[in-house]
Structure 1
Amino acid sequence: MKHICTLALAALVGMQAYAAEKQIIRISTDQTDLVLQVAPNGRLYQSYLGEKLLHESDLDLLGWSVHPASDASVIERGWEVCSTSGNEDFFEPAWGVTHSDGNPSTWLYYVSSSTKQVEGGTQTDILLRDDKYPVDVTLHYIAYPKENIIKTWSEIKHQEKKPISLFRYASTMLYFSSPSYYLTEFSSDWAKEVQMTSQQLQFGKKIVDTKLGSRAAMHAQPFFMVGLGQPVAENTGDVLMGTIGWTGNFRFTFEVDNVGNLRVIPSINPYASVYELPKGEVFTTPEFIFTLSKGTGEGSRNFQRWARNYQLKDGKGTRMTLLNNWENTAFDFDEPILAELMKEAKDLGVDMFLLDDGWFGNKYPRNSDNAGLGDWEANRQKLPGGVPALVRYAKEAGVEFGIWIEPEMVNPKSELMEKHPDWAIHYPNRETYYYRNQLVLDMSNPEVQDYVYEVVDKLMKENPDLAYFKWDCNSPITNIYSPYLKDKQGRLYIDHIRGVYNVMKRVSENYPKLPLMLCSGGGARCDYEALKHFTEFWCSDNTDPVERIYIQWGFSQFFPAKAMCAHVTSWNKNASIKFRTDVASMCKLGFDIGLKELSADELVYCQTAVANWKRLSSTILDGEQYRLVSPYEGNHMAVNYVSTDQQKAVLFAYDVYPRFEEKLFPVKLQGLDPNKMYKVEEINLMPGVKSVLKANGKVLSGDYLMKIGLEVFGFKPLHSCVIELTEQK
């Protein structure tokens, strides 16, 4: 007993001495505090993550407990910010390092921290160092106060004589203590993107990951939501929402420990990726971006506002409406057909004509998906005038011209494969297997990076008026071996993606005003690192408006409408052209349809809808979004957008498959000024059809619209209603 009391007293004296000079690092937004502390043992721990504390003095009360019978130099079950493999913690580590002498342990101690102002926020950098090996880890955080977003990433470097091996490399580690935890994840497949499902997290680990290398988000999207204490809800409850900026293999680990605490670890997936790091080279993890919010609606608006302001290429700019040819012609077209479609684009009222797949390849013409990838010269038989002639036709028609490319891929039937078989990722001694008749080019190879960049650069130099690129990526990595990396195959998955980003960055820097669509066989690329260099992304090849309601609902959890491309096509002809167009109009509007298949009234409707969308695009693309009625909770869906000055709003309401004579409720809008008066007007009506909306033409207060609402739902399947609200002074 005497021995225990002596230890307790020593621990208490140590803690009291330390309290006078306690090192506290506070990373804050206007609504959230992340508080880190250096413990008596010299290591860094998370002492608080939650709603912002109002009083600075309260920070001194935060901390940890030392067991009376334990060594005060060890924090029992401490929430170490950068817990490493081989230390005294028993749970999933952030970093795993095997040193050049074979020692698999790393213990990191606090060295220093600093802050600086960056665009939109404050960056905090914290240096940690191993006490036995010359290994440094630097933690980086940027807090965006107004948007309530925190972005974090890590770097590791060393001065050991020989390379070290990295087998874990988390972007960050976050800890929570709550009675319960509920994960909402977003599973996926081609034409089935962002399928939302929820489950309660229990003791142990839940892992969401992908091992596809390229087109990596085909099965799992790189974002999640965790309800703290209750399942996630739109307008209530504490929610963590996070996403990783990595278009390759990622892994989210959610681990509930034996005392009910949760650690969340976002990282590159270490699968087949033991990374050999030479002396002096810096390994940088992807950015992890997160927000803590009251409900997912608030969290989504945080992300959307932050993306437009700081992360999305040309986030504050406009977006072009377009007509694509793919659903109309597929590979079967020539110059006269395309020239006529450009005139249709002008007649429709859109800004641009986008030429999709099938325009290239001569020795191996691109007439199907089994040949031509890699040979980015216009097919002389289809397009004798080449791309310059198409740009000229577009100018004559009065629209911009954009083009599709898939520069990271190669068909075995291609001149590129004949000249550079070593540029493709493939096994040297096994039978090659193909996904979609193609292979992935080895972007870890600098020569391949130069080639991919030159695909864009050459097209732009030859056609400076090219206005847009749709950049596709249709295959995961198969035959996983890099001829370039040779005996360093553990670097392939990581260095390949770094090579992809190098090219994207190079294109973006040299063509800063060039809009680009990020596409990957649909929505299998949707990360905020790539979106630094792309203005928008393609949500899904599935353009059935019913499915798109769910897909667009899911993506809107993390992305602004102006980043989400939605096209009107012929998928699901049971749905009217109005319903199809109204669903696409809640995002960045485009068309992929032959106008000749439309009746005269349908064409007039489309022209009117395009004109309305353009007129209201600043509200839809840059306004605050409020998801009102979830398709997951019934047979209807509704969302509204409100301009930043609250003078204009747009409500989209959809009856999907209503039940017979079900009870219907008014839709209560959100985000309006309760003291403003708004004129209510239904738009996007078919020619000759009058609105049956009871409130059509009336002037109602924002208070009434938010508390009483509008009766916009009905019993007709696949019916839609678009309402414009305008402040009356």
Structure 2
Amino acid sequence: MEMKKLFLFLFLLSSTLVCGQVVRQNLSVSTENTVMVFSVTESDELIYRYYGNKLQNLDAFSYELQRTPHQPLPVAYPSFGGIASIIPALKLTHADGVMISELKFSEISTTAVDANVTETVIRMKDRCYDIDVVLHFKAYLKEDVIAQYVTISHREKGNIKVENLASGYLNLHADHYYLTHFAGAWADEMGWQEELLTRGVKSIESIKGVRTAQTENPSFLISVDGKAEEYAGDVYAGALAWSSNYKLSFQLSESGCLDVVAGMNPFASTLTIEPGREIKTPEMIWSYSHNGKNRISQNFHSWSRRYALAHGDDLRPIVLNSWEGVYMKFDEQAILSLIDDAAEYGVEMFVLDDGWFGSKYPRDKADSGLGDWMVNKRKLPHGIGYLADYAVKKGIRFGLWIEPEMVNPRSELAEKHPEWIVKTGKYTPYLERNQWLLDLSNPEVQRFVEKTFDDVVAMSPNISYIKWDANRHANNVGSSYLPVEKQSHFWYEYTQGLYSVYEKLRNKYPDLIIQLCSSGGGRVDYGALKYHDEFWASDNTNAVNRIYIQYGTSHFFPAIAIGSHISSSPNHQTGMPLPLKFRVDVAMSGRLGMELQPQDIKGKDIVFVKRAVETYKEVRSVIQHGDLFRLKSPYDSTDWASLMYVSSVQNKAVYFVYSLGYHNRHQFYTEKLKGLSPDKRYKVTEINKGNKSASSAAGKVFMGEYLMNVGIQLNLSKPYESAVLLLEEVE
């Protein structure tokens, strides 16, 4: 008995012994201010060590690693296999049916793409099978952004099945983790939510296939040991550049570590891979800040303007979009009148929205004509070219709306090509917004969409803007093109097909402005955005709702890309009446446009709007290319919201303040400004001034030091009052 007890004691002791792992090499991916560190052990494990502030010396990472059988070390790309029990980034089934994969480090290479971008490639191999998993990292130095993606290929004797292939993995160790994510619905996108992560797994995911960002956006913030603050604290950020099903998993284990796995959603998406074929994941975009989440936003904004947005250096034109002005009920004279009004107000781009096409099935309502991209001659007898030429003669540019991925049952296209519709077997292809989805996994459909775009643009050399919409999800999915054994490839192949069309069109029309729209903000993600100049953040144009929507959106996406329009009162979506000044002041905080019938503007309001349009032209370089500073969240309990933009050389700033509720006569708003030079002198000018001045500071000069430590007092007491101040450097 005593021998048994001794044996049991020695067994338990051995199971808790700390095992040393010798580090033979440290690897790093660096930007100007951050670094991601991995270590290679003597057994060729690739261990995730650190992501955070840049370190001058990595020697300490070479000390022996300690682990127990109950606490394995976090690997750089966790697979299903070994002793770890976290959600894997990689899960596959080999050709012989084995479901395990253990990855070992093979080699690393780093290349300077240019003075600002380095690319690091870490190659890994399975310990027992001929499989290559390659981690790719692009480090954008000045922007403090790291983009990661993964490729997988193999040389097994048969096909392998990949059930989960994530784009990126993040391992953190702290006392507490606060997750900020963004959720909502149609007309209520990008709602800010923050929560303390507790033991277990928190998942944010979508299986909608199309418009996957509308109700849950594939971006997030992790703040450690406290809620995310704007200008203090450690914050990690991730945004998945993918326009289809995705999954973000946050697993808080008994060790206190947080494991984040992000990538394509594995739901009904097993990929069968033949020997020699390579599969590539979408990019996961990472950033870190030691100085709060506003720095994260600035990192993403700078990066996207330079690398993830078409024409990021160009100023965006002021747009009048026809939708809320006339909807589909228009004729040629009505459109000519809108063009006249656009020119009269100083607008620079007129966009004709839905309803201009369809022959056999005219597009007079949303139930017909979609897919038949010929001009409705009854509405527009002289065609699109006539309207575009007329606009140019009036001194403005011309654009058109299209929705080439979709088709109405009542259309010539649906009658001619029923095999192009997404459907499966004997099951019904359900309608959503009276339309079906075209199967972009099919190269023939891809060619049709590309030709549709070509044909539309060819209607006039004066078409300089396309609004690309997508107004439904994917359900009851299936493809008559994909073979039976690869129906689960649909989500991946559809999105790759879409991106292939985007890329061809962008290469073919490099100067065209293309807006990304998907029932509003259904495709606000960096997978699609790099092919577009801007996006429509929401079909909800109500200024109060837009403050909240654009607040959430601003965490990852820059003002230059956020279409923000002056709309009618009462608003068409909410029925809420709002003062014109408030509606204008909110719209000016993004890419300014108009979404109303200009003839509804009367009297002195005409002068006010014209002046606001001209003022925006004078300050838009600051708003569209400047640094954002969020000052007061609309989610705070004070019923205020404020933000400002500061030029890169700190010589000009635009400051927006909104009152969202009643404030008694003893209350006033003041906020310490951000981003100015303390040694410069700034003259304050109130723009879009209403019947009374909002501040006695107007016309005065202040040192930047004073403005950033004391602030400016504003008298905005009533609901939906607002102020916009311009700060300009003076000698």
Shorter-normalised TM-score: what interval?
A: over 0.9
Q: Could you list the runs of 4 or more consecutive aligned residues of structure 1 that deviate by over 4 angstroms after TM superposition? A: 1-8
Q: 1:395 is paired with a residue of what secondary structure?
A: helix
Of 519, 543, 547, which aligns to 1:549?
547
Q: What's the TM-score once normalised by structure 1's chain length?
A: 0.95
Shift of 1:457: 1.2
Hey, what does 2:718 align to over in structure 1?
716
Hey, what does 1:607 align to over in structure 2?
610
2:152–2:278 contact (8 Å) kept in structure 1: yes
2:450–2:501 contact (8 Å) kept in structure 1: yes
Of 80, 102, 106, which aligns to 1:111?
106
Q: Within 5 Å, which residues of 2 pair with 1:16-55?
A: 18-19=22-23, 22-55=24-57
Amino acid paired to 2:709: K
Could you tell me how far apart the structure 2 residues matched to 1:428 and 1:604 are?
60
Could you tell me how far apart the structure 2 residues matched to 1:340 and 1:96 are?
59
2:111–2:119 contact (8 Å) kept in structure 1: yes
Deviations 1:38-77 (A, max 9, x none): 112212111112222133433434x63134xx6xxxx942
Shift of 1:88: 2.0
Shift of 1:662: 6.3
Hey, what does 2:689 align to over in structure 1?
685
2:180–2:221 contact (8 Å) kept in structure 1: yes
Identity of aligned residues (%): 38
Is residue 386 of structure 1 aligned with residue 383 of structure 2? yes
Shift of 1:386: 1.6
Hey, what does 1:650 align to over in structure 2?
654
1:81–1:172 contact (8 Å) kept in structure 2: no
Shift of 1:398: 1.7
Q: Within 5 Å, which residues of 2 pair with 1:638-677?
A: 638-661=642-665, 663-677=667-681
Could you tell me how far apart the structure 2 residues matched to 1:480 and 1:437 are?
17
Could you tell me how far apart the structure 2 residues matched to 1:546 and 1:127 are?
50
Q: Within 5 Å, which residues of 2 pair with 1:200-215?
A: 200-215=196-211
Q: Within 5 Å, which residues of 2 pair with 1:341-380?
A: 341-380=338-377
Hey, what does 1:425 align to over in structure 2?
422
Of 179, 182, 186, which aligns to 2:175?
179
Amino acid paired to 2:652: K
Of 78, 83, 100, which aligns to 1:83?
78
Could you tell me how far apart the structure 2 residues matched to 1:328 and 1:543 are?
13
Hey, what does 1:463 align to over in structure 2?
460
Could you tell me how far apart the structure 2 residues matched to 1:33 and 1:7 are?
36
Q: 1:216 is paired with a residue of what secondary structure?
A: coil
Of 481, 503, 506, which aligns to 1:505?
503
Q: 1:700 is paired with a residue of what secondary structure?
A: strand
Q: 1:217 is paired with a residue of what secondary structure?
A: coil
Could you tell me how far apart the structure 2 residues matched to 1:386 and 1:81 are?
58
Deviations 1:480-507 (A, max 9, x none): 1111114111100111111111111111
Shift of 1:91: 1.3
2:39–2:61 contact (8 Å) kept in structure 1: no
Hey, what does 1:531 align to over in structure 2?
529
CA 1:602–1:618: 2 relative to 1, 3 Å: same
1:252–1:264 contact (8 Å) kept in structure 2: yes
Could you tell me how far apart the structure 1 residues matched to 2:554 and 2:331 are?
37
1:636–1:713 contact (8 Å) kept in structure 2: no
Amino acid paired to 1:114: S
1:655–1:713 contact (8 Å) kept in structure 2: no
Deviations 1:302-343 (A, max 9, x none): 111111122211111111111111101000111111111101
Q: 1:675 is paired with a residue of what secondary structure?
A: coil
CA 1:656–1:66: 2 relative to 1, 3 Å: closer
Is residue 133 of structure 1 aligned with residue 129 of structure 2? yes
Could you tell me how far apart the structure 1 residues matched to 2:236 and 2:715 are?
32
Gaps spanning 5+ residues in structure 1: where? none
Q: Within 5 Å, which residues of 2 pair with 1:589-604?
A: 589-604=592-607
Amino acid paired to 1:543: T
1:653–1:713 contact (8 Å) kept in structure 2: no
Of 237, 245, 250, which aligns to 2:246?
250
Shift of 1:430: 2.1
2:159–2:273 contact (8 Å) kept in structure 1: yes
Q: Within 5 Å, which residues of 2 pair with 1:263-278?
A: 263-278=259-274
Is residue 586 of structure 1 aligned with residue 589 of structure 2? yes
Could you tell me how far apart the structure 2 residues matched to 1:205 and 1:30 are?
33
Deviations 1:556-575 (A, max 9, x none): 00011001111111115521
Is residue 618 of structure 1 aligned with residue 616 of structure 2? no
Hey, what does 2:3 align to over in structure 1?
none
Q: What's the TM-score once normalised by structure 2's chain length?
A: 0.95
Deviations 1:449-500 (A, max 9, x none): 1111111112223322211011001000122111111411110011111111
Hey, what does 1:194 align to over in structure 2?
190
**Bigger shift: 113-122 or 300-309?**
113-122
Q: 1:581 is paired with a residue of what secondary structure?
A: helix
Hey, what does 2:518 align to over in structure 1?
520
Could you tell me how far apart the structure 1 residues matched to 2:482 and 2:12 are?
59
Amino acid paired to 1:134: D
Hey, what does 1:405 align to over in structure 2?
402
Shift of 1:26: 0.8
Could you tell me how far apart the structure 2 residues matched to 1:663 and 1:582 are?
22
Q: 2:294 is paired with a residue of what secondary structure?
A: helix
Hey, what does 2:489 align to over in structure 1?
491
2:385–2:462 contact (8 Å) kept in structure 1: no
Amino acid paired to 2:397: E
Amino acid paired to 2:386: A
Shift of 1:87: 2.5
Q: 2:714 is paired with a residue of what secondary structure?
A: coil
Could you tell me how far apart the structure 1 residues matched to 2:544 and 2:26 are?
51
